[in-house]
Amino acid sequence: MLFYLITIIVVLIDQATKVFVRMNLALYEKVTWAGIEFTYNENSGMAGGFFPGYARAFGIISVLFVIFIFYLRRSEAWRGPLIDISLGFLVGGAVGNGMDRLLHGQVTDFIVRSGGILNVADHALEIGIVLFIIHELVQWLKRRKRVKSE
């Protein structure tokens, strides 16, 4: 249930913030709010603007990624609180950006960071990756401890 809850929350927040930005800012308009810089940008490629014009292809990759995660989750090994949270963020981020790519042919970005301009889905993907790495480290330590005790 945690997986689905996080996925839905990420998608809703991501899509709501993108709609808000598209309705209230002009393209490339810059605004600072609560010490955070926002710049409305549209990206027709992937992260960092690489491969511009291939948004729909990356949208299809997002769909395949989500299907793959649902396939993996059929196994008990891909369930548990930490992996559910991790995969919820990953799927939520993939769905959020995938929707933009398939529906609009581009992704709305607006949160300025030192690495570029991102959106909520991008941040969810980053969180999901970090939590996935932590999950895998914990699993590795458990396996190592089990082998030592045998």
Q: What is the pLDDT of residues 102-146, one digit of tens each?
A: 999 999 999 998 778 999 999 999 999 999 999 999 999 988 888
Instruction: For the full predicted model, state whether its pTM sits above 0.95.
Output: no
* One-letter amino acid for residue 65 of the chain: F
Stretch among 48-62, 70-84, 123-137 having the lowest mean pLDDT: 48-62
Contact 27, 43 (CB under 8 A): no
Separation of alpha carbons 31 and 9, rounded Å: 25
Q: So which residues are the catalytic ones?
A: 109, 122
SS3 (DSSP) at 83: helix
- As a whole number, mean pLDDT of residues 5-24 equals 97
Asked whether residue 48 carries a pLDDT value surpassing 70, the answer given is no
pLDDT surpasses 80 at 80: yes
pLDDT at position 62 is: 92
Going by C-alpha positions, the residue among 69, 112, 107 that lies closest to residue 89 is 69
